Structure 1
């Protein structure tokens, strides 16, 4: 008598599942999501050429400097990987990111950059501050928070059609739980936090 094996429990299915989760986690990284939002808003306000320049400048401070600092820390052995999996070690890189984004917002405001771009950077600053505060006690998902914030920004900019991106946000949350980086409450709270901050900060400042 043979026993039918559930394909979802086979090692092959498990490896494929993990591989898909890793790909989603990497392509939806906070830095990439942030750069996407910056470029969309900058180009929307200043055209393809000038917009890309504004977006690239902001991306240097919002994503480039923080990720460069993290990469240097990984190389020095401070952190296990570029996701900084250990919650207790996230405070310093988050503070560096917070300072870098704050400088970016100040410079953009001083040089009369597109108002929507300044508003977006300020929303990112508020989101970082919220994540930093919660991370002191609990490992809220930064992936989900940034992805949720990006979706919230797109809803403000493009209306309800942007909600078609909800399955993508769900995929990001799923990938973080499959990789055991977070629990479902941590990704759900992260996504809701990011969206709430975006909805509260971006519209009145744009």
Structure 2
């Protein structure tokens, strides 16, 4: 039962948060950047990268949720993120190592390095503050696509704003945490992906 101060959860905000979660953006990014880097062979590398950057982390989180270690698949607890984020970092690092050994396109390598840099920054900030991972990943993805394809892709920030609205509406983050995540993701994408590609 809801208390007088509680409002019912917004179904739209929940759907936006669930549908446009980090793994969705990561899979999209690996395929879109993959195509840009070398068309079909790039797509193949994108599928490979998505396994280590999105699928394995997703399975790890789902297993933790089933065992009761995490509250939900978004890992809202800052304390629980200290386990999840280093695991995700390790998974991405292993994928990157294989990509380097296998001669993956430079643009794909730059994308995964950018993901690692962003993960490192998010983990460091999480020790002090609950920055929005949703926003960092969404903003970083749109920024990388814009760097690769051109400024028209910046229209994707409309979806980034929608995700930010959902995180605030669901009370998972404050406006400042959403703004900081957005700025961090976009900035690191420009500073890392652009020069490395």
TM-score (norm 2): 0.93
Runs of 5+ unmatched residues, structure 2: 1-6
Aligned residues: 191
Matched, 1:19 2:14: no
CA distance in 2, matches of 1:166, 1:95: 28
Asked whether 1:75 is paired with 2:66, we answer yes
- Whole-Å separation in 2 of the counterparts to 1:63 and 1:134: 21
Q: Partner residue of 2:151?
A: 160
- How far apart, in 2, do the equivalents of 1:189 and 1:31 lie? 20
Q: Does 1:189 align with 2:180?
A: yes
Structure 1 unaligned blocks of 5 or more: 1-13
Query: Following the alignment from structure 2 to structure 1, what is the Cα–Cα distance between the partners of residues 15 and 148?
Result: 28
Residue of structure 1 in register with 2:27 after alignment: 35
What stretches of structure 1 move > 6 A for 4+ residues in a row? none
2:57 matches 1:66: yes
2:36–2:148 Cα contact (<8 Å) kept: no
1:151 to 138, 142, 145: 142
Matches within 5 A, 1:48-127: 48=40, 50-127=41-118
Cα distance in structure 2, aligned partners of 1:87 and 1:66: 17
Larger radius of gyration: 1
Q: TM-score with structure 1 length normalisation?
A: 0.89
Deviation of 1:53 after TM superposition, in Å, equals 1.8
Residue 33 of structure 2 contacts residue 145 of structure 2 at CA under 8 Å; is this kept in 1? no
Measured in 2, the distance between the counterparts of 1:47 and 1:26 equals 29
Point out the more displaced range, 29-38 or 161-170.
161-170
Q: 1:134 to 1:70 in 2, by over 3 A?
A: same
RMSD: 1.2
* Cα distance per residue 1:18-54 (max 9 Å; x no partner): 1111111111110110110000111222223x33321
Determine the C-alpha separation between the residues in 2 that align with 1:107 and 1:147: 25
